Chain A
């Protein structure tokens, strides 16, 4: 396997909130490979967005990277402090698009100007040249009559169209990595597919490396090469999409997959994970998922599991993979999936 383009190790992110310190990311590690699409999945509040924001230095003012490293192009992004240093990365090398296209654009400036601004900033284009390029990009992201649309304001665009504009802004920077923070959550289902298709097309054309942040496993199955599963500020399982879907090892990943309606077994109630995610203000001991895991081991409450390697591309943080652990059968839905996969493989 080639060198990763970005490699995060043991990243710890803290926030100070209401006079207390909150640990949002608890030593998460991640490798990102050039030209691939990585999906980070997890429920709301698991730290997906916060984790990726550290790659851009865009944590809110009350948050900071406490320890760990994020290596990118021979630089440790975790060590960057000043805005000047970040400006060499943001937009230029790593770009990000956000969940809600309705609010992501400045309502008082024309769509054209908001894209052109980026071209002037990063590619030194000016005047007519910049305008021509802007119109070209608008066309590229699938906006019809771009020359007319160039002069319009965001409120004259539909949600899907606005997300296309946001994507246009991101790719106008010509970045190496594009982080998509739930890019389709706020959109209609029919539009979702179009946007995913657009991103996929741009990836091919521009050789982008993409990180998808999502809680929609349908999207993951659709677009991802690799998948990282996050829970309570930690990546608890990491592998190729196939490995995660058909050979998951962590009880949380099992629970997550079991709650997919598509995988439910007819006539039986849909599985739902019991309990609530942990309060990040408190120190978490052992495996964060243990209190919600009906088949947790005693050690899960005492000691945090290390990463166990399942395959060269597949890691999971669970004591179940320890040779001393008792054999635990995955739930029925997971077994059914594995069986189906084994059949299909033959």
Chain B
């Protein structure tokens, strides 16, 4: 458009332009519209974190592999003792080869199969413990926060338990009970829920006493809706984070208890047992693969879950949603 044309058009339009426009109620409201959505932003922030996404992919493939591994062809039984076809004796400490990908251990069991079996055991324990932590923590925390008469008492009990090092509680419980899968789970479940319970209790008190919630209730919002809108999104993200972080935590405790001799029975392959078996052989460099392979798989799992859990908790925090 040339300047001249523009001038003509504007001359025609000018008259028109200085007349009243129609008022559009909807348009006046539309201007302040915000397209913010909590879960949308949480997922977007999480996906932006490249290392977390990498960990997520590693994790999903690893988890999938762990559970389908026994059904793949040419997989060995983790507790079968393999024999040397020439001598007929146990195939002890066979270095990694085509047949035994990660070698064999000191009594001739296939390390590859044992590692995945151990991973399954350890993950199973971790998931049970994580779910327990969340479920019991929420139930107990709700009771704690909801029943005012109990608050002071439970708070005192909490302070006592909180004051004792977790290490000591777990060790003592494991020492008193006979080593078994059940013992392990019981011991691990003993303390973790405390943190979750306290979190839920504090949230309930916030819902009860914070002014924005009081205000909301004064305007007639039913409590159920306040819980749905203000507590639930937060709770869901805390649950996801807790379960994600309980995996490295539980595996770490399992390794610790195994190390001090209070772990699962030796015949149950678990990551803790495998690391501990490998540790005994470190003085001969040619056998170190028995420590390195389990440690590598274990570290991959714990680091991935840890990074993911933290990235998710960052992403779930609305303050990071910009």
Task: Output the residue of B19, B24, B322 with the most chain A CB within 10 A.
Answer: B322
Chain B nearest CB from A60 CB (Å) reads 10
Contact A299 B28 (CB under 8 A): no
| Proximity bits, B273-312, A CB within 8 Å = 1, else 0 | 0000000000000000000000000000000000000000
Given A291-B24, A298-B16, decide whether A279 and B32 contact each other with a Cβ distance below 8 A: yes
Task: Output the residue of A275, A292, A300, A303 with the most chain B CB within 10 A.
Answer: A275
Contact B41 A275 (CB under 8 A): no
Indicate which residue in B19, B27, B30, B34 contacts A326 across the interface (CB closer than 8 Å): B19
Given A18-B322, A294-B23, decide whether A276 and B32 contact each other with a Cβ distance below 8 A: yes
Contact A274 B321 (CB under 8 A): no
Q: Chain B residues with Cβ under 8 A from A319's Cβ?
A: 18
Contact B19 A297 (CB under 8 A): yes
Among residues of B, the one whose C-beta sits closest to the C-beta of A17 is: B322
Given A279-B31, A292-B28, decide whether A324 and B21 contact each other with a Cβ distance below 8 A: no
Contact B18 A291 (CB under 8 A): no
Complex Cα gap A299–B21 (Å): 8
Task: Output the residue of B19, B24, B28, B30 with the most chain A CB within 10 A.
Answer: B28
Say yes or no for B29: interface residue by CB 8 A criterion.
Answer: yes
Say yes or no for A207: interface residue by CB 8 A criterion.
Answer: no
Q: Chain A residues with Cβ under 8 A from B34's Cβ?
A: 279
Say yes or no for A290: interface residue by CB 8 A criterion.
Answer: yes
Contact B18 A278 (CB under 8 A): no
Say yes or no for A322: interface residue by CB 8 A criterion.
Answer: yes
Q: Chain A residues with Cβ under 8 A from B25's Cβ?
A: 274-275
Among residues of B, the one whose C-beta sits closest to the C-beta of A302 is: B17
Say yes or no for A187: interface residue by CB 8 A criterion.
Answer: no
Say yes or no for B33: interface residue by CB 8 A criterion.
Answer: yes
Complex Cα gap A277–B34 (Å): 11
Indicate which residue in B17, B30, B31, B322 contacts A297 across the interface (CB closer than 8 Å): B17
Say yes or no for B14: interface residue by CB 8 A criterion.
Answer: yes
Indicate which residue in B14, B21, B33, B41 contacts A300 across the interface (CB closer than 8 Å): B21
Say yes or no for A325: interface residue by CB 8 A criterion.
Answer: yes
Complex Cα gap A279–B32 (Å): 5
Q: Chain A residues with Cβ under 8 A from B16's Cβ?
A: 298
Say yes or no for A301: interface residue by CB 8 A criterion.
Answer: yes
Contact B31 A326 (CB under 8 A): no
Chain A nearest CB from B16 CB (Å) reads 6
Q: Chain A residues with Cβ under 8 A from B18's Cβ?
A: 297-299, 319, 322, 324-326
Complex Cα gap A319–B21 (Å): 13
CB neighbors of B among A231-276 (8 A): 274-276
Contact B28 A276 (CB under 8 A): yes
Q: Chain B residues with Cβ under 8 A from A279's Cβ?
A: 31-34
Contact B29 A276 (CB under 8 A): yes
Q: Which size class do A's interface residues fall under?
A: 20 to 34
Say yes or no for B71: interface residue by CB 8 A criterion.
Answer: no
Among residues of B, the one whose C-beta sits closest to the C-beta of A328 is: B20
Q: Chain B residues with Cβ under 8 A from A274's Cβ?
A: 25, 28
Complex Cα gap A265–B29 (Å): 26
Contact A278 B32 (CB under 8 A): yes
Chain A nearest CB from B24 CB (Å) reads 7
Q: Chain B residues with Cβ under 8 A from A325's Cβ?
A: 18
Say yes or no for A296: interface residue by CB 8 A criterion.
Answer: yes
Q: Chain A residues with Cβ under 8 A from B23's Cβ?
A: 293-296
Complex Cα gap A62–B32 (Å): 22
Q: Chain A residues with Cβ under 8 A from B20's Cβ?
A: 295-298, 326
| Proximity bits, A171-212, B CB within 8 Å = 1, else 0 | 000000000000000000000000000000000000000000
Task: Output the residue of B21, B29, B32, B322 with the most chain A CB within 10 A.
Answer: B21
CB neighbors of A among B1-39 (8 A): 14, 16-21, 23-25, 27-34
Complex Cα gap A295–B31 (Å): 17
Complex Cα gap A221–B17 (Å): 36
Q: Chain A residues with Cβ under 8 A from B321's Cβ?
A: 18
Complex Cα gap A295–B27 (Å): 14
Given A18-B41, A324-B14, decide whether A275 and B21 contact each other with a Cβ distance below 8 A: no
Contact B21 A298 (CB under 8 A): yes
Contact B21 A301 (CB under 8 A): yes
Complex Cα gap A271–B4 (Å): 46
Q: Chain B residues with Cβ under 8 A from A295's Cβ?
A: 20, 23
Complex Cα gap A294–B20 (Å): 9
Given A298-B20, A300-B21, decide whether A275 and B28 contact each other with a Cβ distance below 8 A: yes
Excluding A18-B41, A291-B28, A296-B21, 15 further A-B contacts by CB distance (< 8 Å) are: A275-B25, A275-B31, A275-B32, A276-B28, A276-B32, A276-B33, A279-B34, A290-B21, A291-B24, A298-B16, A298-B18, A299-B17, A299-B18, A322-B18, A325-B18
- In the assembled complex, 11 residue pairs joining A and B whose CB atoms fall closer than 8 Å, in A order, are A275-B31, A276-B28, A276-B33, A279-B31, A293-B23, A296-B20, A297-B18, A319-B18, A324-B14, A325-B18, A326-B19
Binding site for B on A (CB under 8 A): 17-18, 62, 274-279, 290-303, 319, 322, 324-326
